Amino acid sequence: MSAVAPVPGAAPPASAPAAGREQAPAPGEGQGPGQRHGRGPGPAHARGRLTPWLYLAPALLVLGGLLAYPVWQLGLISVLEYTQAQVSGGEPTSFQGLANYAELFSDAQFWDVLVATVLFAAACVLGTLAVGCALAVLLTRVRAVPRLLLMLAALGAWATPAVTGSTVWVFLFDADFGPVNRVLGLGDFSWTYGRMSAFALVFLEVVWCSFPLVMVTVYAGIRAIPAEVLEAAALDGASHWRTWRSVTTPMLRPILLVVTIQSVIWDFKIFTQIYVMTGGGGIAGQNLVLNVYAYQKAFASSQYSLGSAIGVVMLLLLLGVTLVYLRLLRRKGEEL
């Protein structure tokens, strides 16, 4: 801990600027051929076999106790009978096998929520990627001032906490006092009343707060493409469109892969926006997604086992996404 205090003030060693410069081109280097310095000569750390484990110990301790153990508990609770009686210790827990899952899978609402979650997440991912990529391309076509304006605005949306983003968007679309309905001439149309319009409202907020990451990352990727490559394409007589399709897009693929996967994971796990904007899942639960559904099952109706079983289902689905991601990384021969 003591090491923290002196650092910000202390003059960094002479090589600090050099290292700073080394980081700067990092986003682009990903496409360059000479970037795999991981294995290379590398530091010969034969000595001190224990050192890395010593450095890892705090992280492993935290993750083991506060992540792995709860995940294990989640699985455990999902196969037990666990309601208010067991929580308060009034009744012993009893092993249920897969009965909770059977109950869950025979529940029509679960399937409805599952389908809604997948569709909603897919829409959010597509919307975010489309907006983010389009604006990244736009950024490369404009001069400094418009670019700065757009960057600043995006930064603001990016920094906005999900909770406040949600409250602000609900207010913007408020039936009585919001400006959006006035401008669109929608009268006192309530966005949160209908299922689709409520999902649409959340969708807009999610795209608003998540496109900046995609835009900034993809923009950095485009800028990092060496000018010679584009020049060569132009000299070879490639049209604008052809250059874009055959040169730019392939070189951006690693970056696109990462932002896609991150978006899938984030959007599939959406909780705050749905919870705040639709008041805990919408009228009669019409806007529930899995995460909110699990929470409501557990904490609103004390069905902790069912809530945990939903959690396990989510965990498995996300694990599937991760495995696909790892496979894609491996196939490209990327080194971790």
Partner 1 sequence: MTGAGAGAGAAVPRGRSRRRLRVRPWRLAAEGTAVAVALVVAFPLYWMVLSALKPAGEVRSAHPVPWTANPTLDAFRRVFGQQDFGRYFLNSLLVAGTVVIASALVAFLAATAVTRFRFRFRTTLLILFLVAQMVPVEALTIPMFFLMRDVGALNSLLSLMLPHLAFSLPFAVWMLRGFVKAVPDTLEEAALIDGASRTRFLWQILFPLVFPGLVATSVFSFISTWNDFLFAKSFIISATENSTLPMALLVFFDAETPDWGGVMAASTVMTLPVLVFFVLVHRRLVSGLGGAVKE
Read off the tokens for 182: 């006035």
Residue number with CB closer to partner 1 (68 or 102): 68
Residue number with CB closer to partner 1 (8 or 33): 8
Instruction: Write down the least CB distance from residue 195 to partner 1, Å.
Output: 21
Distance CA 35, CA 13 (A): 25
Collect contacts of 199-202 with beta carbons under 8 A, ≥24 apart.
Answer: 199/116, 199/120, 199/287, 201/169, 201/170, 201/173, 201/277, 202/120, 202/270, 202/273, 202/274, 202/277, 202/278, 202/287
Instruction: Write down the least CB distance from residue 140 to partner 1, Å.
Output: 5
With residue 313 as reference, give the H or E element that holds it.
helix 304-331
Q: Which amino acid is at 103?
A: E
Instruction: Write down the least CB distance from residue 28 to partner 1, Å.
Output: 7
Q: Are 263 and 131 in contact (CB under 8 A)?
A: no
Distance CA 285, CA 74 (A): 24
Q: Are 321 and 328 in contact (CB under 8 A)?
A: no
Instruction: Write down the least CB distance from residue 334 to partner 1, Å.
Output: 6
Distance CA 132, CA 216 (A): 8
Distance CA 15, CA 214 (A): 32
Residue number with CB closer to partner 1 (89 or 97): 89
Residue number with CB closer to partner 1 (195 or 269): 269
Instruction: Write down the least CB distance from residue 68 to partner 1, Å.
Output: 8
Q: Name the residue among 320, 328, 306, 329 with its Cα closest to residue 79.
A: 306
Q: Following DSSP, what letter does each residue of 15-58 receive, concatenated?
A: THHHHHHHHTTHHHHTTSGGG--SSSS-----S-TTHHHHHHHH
Read off the tokens for 108: 């029509």
Residue number with CB closer to partner 1 (65 or 250): 65
From residue 106, how far is each of 112, 134, 243, 286, 290 by CA, in Å? Answer: 11, 43, 52, 19, 16
Which residues on neighbouring strands pair with residue 95, listed in sequence order?
Answer: 80
Residue number with CB closer to partner 1 (66 or 284): 66
Instruction: Write down the least CB distance from residue 129 to partner 1, Å.
Output: 14
CA-based max dimension of the chain: 80
Instruction: Write down the least CB distance from residue 143 to partner 1, Å.
Output: 6
Residue number with CB closer to partner 1 (105 or 299): 299
Residue number with CB closer to partner 1 (217 or 286): 217
Instruction: Write down the least CB distance from residue 288 to partner 1, Å.
Output: 13
Instruction: Write down the least CB distance from residue 199 to partner 1, Å.
Output: 19
Residue number with CB closer to partner 1 (30 or 194): 30
